[in-house]
Amino acid sequence: MAKPTSRFVCQACGAVTAKWAGKCETCGEWNTIAEEAAEARPGPARRPGAKLLVETLAGSAEPPPRRQIGIAELDRVLGGGLVAASAVLVGGDPGIGKSTLLLQAAASLARAGSRVLYVSGEEAADQIRLRARRLGLESAPMQLAATINVRDIATALEAERDLALVVIDSIQTMWLDSVESAPGTVTQVRASAFELIRIAKQRGFSLALVGHVTKEGTLAGPRVLEHMVDAVLHFEGDRGHQFRILRAAKNRYGATYEIGVFEMSDRGLSDVANPSALFLAERRGHIAGSAVFAGLEGTRPVLLEIQALLAANPGGSPRRSVVGWDGSRLAMLLAVLDARCDLKLSGLDVYLNVAGGLRISEPAADLAVAAALISAVTGRPTHAGAVYFGEVGLSGEVRQVAQTAARLKEAAKLGFERAVLPRRVARGSGSVGAEGLRTDEIGHLADLVAQFPPV
């Protein structure tokens, strides 16, 4: 039988099928299946397997050595710096600032005396030099190469000593000559990444891979890569805003809940040490439908504005439009407000927005969202100096959340004078929270509704 010369590979998940289909049966994505050259079949084993070396769990083990990059927000997300002999994937939308971030990281390490290689398969060396000049990094003693050839890179890396960091921008442009598929295909991306990661583990340097994310999945999304690397960072942000969020989706050497906050300017990305001030910068008080949430991102408290807009529905099923929060969580909250507080919102169009473009996943946001909704429906602004946090249960009860003290402290630091929060079980003397903040403890959502008397 003739050997097949091509096969069909889903560019999103890497599943292989015998023939083309519009939808991938494995991951359910549409229009992701592309024809690729067949992989060479492995021949019969040339030698029997060697005896496997097994070890016990007990034994001496050191935590992995870390190298601080010198960009505080990046070091924070990585879990305290770069780990030697590890691979990190940085994904993000086109133009979000991936190359900028990694160039700054590379330059920072280089200036601190580490050996760094920056390989670009997307831009010519001149383009990178221009960016470096704009960012004021042109004097950083780092090595630069513009190539897509993994074989050439591998040869160069094998000859290197004491490399600290290698940046590959981007993995989708890399090409390994032993694989017939075109750059950007799943097969090629996987083979190139495998080769580069292998060398990183062997030589002990940190490898940073830039990965593109496209909604259509036409390029091999980082999904196939996610399993191969030690950490996956997502670089997010709203193009209309100056700030960017770096979030860990996976980290074999650290927690995944920390976020890094940066501000983007023509001089590059700078650390934002106090995100609350940034997120609240555009807030205008005394508007109905707005409430400030005292949230927690990783170990850091962050204040955010939640905005709700209600509109009469002309007929048909009402719209629920949510940006930055969970749609099903909103549906639950609306049902609870209806059933337990007799607040009729179900016939109205509801638009909910977390101002600034950050995504909240904490249930503690329930109370702030509820405050924004109640404020919108009553037409009464929330207290301008108040923050809200607490989880809401199905019977309308307001539940405790973690880190009350940290949230109150952040609110006080930013000049807030009042906090609406869940009733605390063990109360100390008085209900004064941190730094003179007036705390208003409530046990049921109806107590919150009572704070907005009808006009």
DSSP characters for 71-136? -HHHHHHHTSSEETT-EEEEEE-TTSSHHHHHHHHHHHHHHTT-EEEEEESSS-HHHHHHHHHHTT
CB of 99 to Mg ion, least distance (A): 3
**And the tokens for 452?**
């907005």
The answer to the question of residue 404 lying near Mg ion (CB under 5 A) is no
Q: Which is nearer to ligand ATP, 135 or 392 (CB)?
A: 135
Q: Which residue number, 239 or 284, has a Cβ lying nearer to ligand ATP?
A: 239
Q: Which two tokens stand for residue 445?
A: 């959502």
| Structure-block tokens of residue 337 | 């407000």
How far is the C-alpha of 404 from the C-alpha of 441, rounded, in Å?
Answer: 12
Assess 221 for contact with ligand ATP (CB under 6 A).
no
Closest CB 32 distance from Zn ion, rounded Å? 6
**Of Mg ion, Zn ion, ligand ATP, none, which one sits near residue 184, judging by CB under 5 to 8 A according to partner kind?**
none
Distance of closest approach, residue 11 Cβ to Zn ion, in angstroms:
8
Asked whether 245 and 324 are in contact (CB, 8 A), the reply is no
Residues at the site binding Zn ion, with contacts judged by CB under 5 A: 10, 12-13, 15, 24, 26-27
Residue 183 contacts ligand ATP per CB under 6 A: no
User: Is residue 187 within the footprint of Mg ion (CB under 5 A)?
Assistant: no
Percentages helix, strand, coil for the chain (3-state, rounded to 5) are 25, 30, 45
How many chain residues are in contact with ligand ATP, going by CB under 6 A? 12
Minimal distance, residue 192 CB to ligand ATP, in Å: 17
Among the listed residues 55, 162, 177, 266, the single contact to ligand ATP using CB under 6 A: 266
Q: Are 387 and 416 in contact (CB under 8 A)?
A: yes
Residue span binding ligand ATP (CB under 6 A) among the ranges 87-95, 197-205, 293-301, 446-454: 87-95
Count of other CB atoms within 10 angstroms of residue 201? 15
Q: Which of residues 50-109 bind Mg ion (CB under 5 A)?
A: 99
Closest approach of ligand ATP to the CB of residue 357, in Å: 14
Q: What is the DSSP string of 119-141?
A: EESSS-HHHHHHHHHHTT-TTS-
42 contacts: CB under 8 Å, gap ≥ 6: none
Task: Report the candidate in 389, 423, 425, 419 with the shortest Cα–Cα distance to residue 297.
Answer: 389
Both tokens assigned to 91:
């994904």
Residue 454 interacting entry, from Mg ion, Zn ion, ligand ATP, none, C-beta within 5 to 8 Å by type: none
DSSP β-bridge partners for residue 296: 301
Closer to Mg ion by Cβ: residue 99 or 404? 99
Could you tell me the two tokens for 288?
Answer: 């109905």
Minimal distance, residue 170 CB to ligand ATP, in Å: 7
> Chain-centre distance of CA 284, in angstroms?
28
**Which of 67, 76, 98, 383 lies at the binding interface for ligand ATP (CB under 6 A)?**
98
> Which residue in 14, 79, 97, 260 binds ligand ATP (CB under 6 A)?
97
Q: By CB under 6 A, is residue 94 in contact with ligand ATP?
A: yes
Chain residues binding Mg ion by CB under 5 A are 99
Chain residues binding ligand ATP by CB under 6 A are 92, 94-100, 122, 134, 264, 266
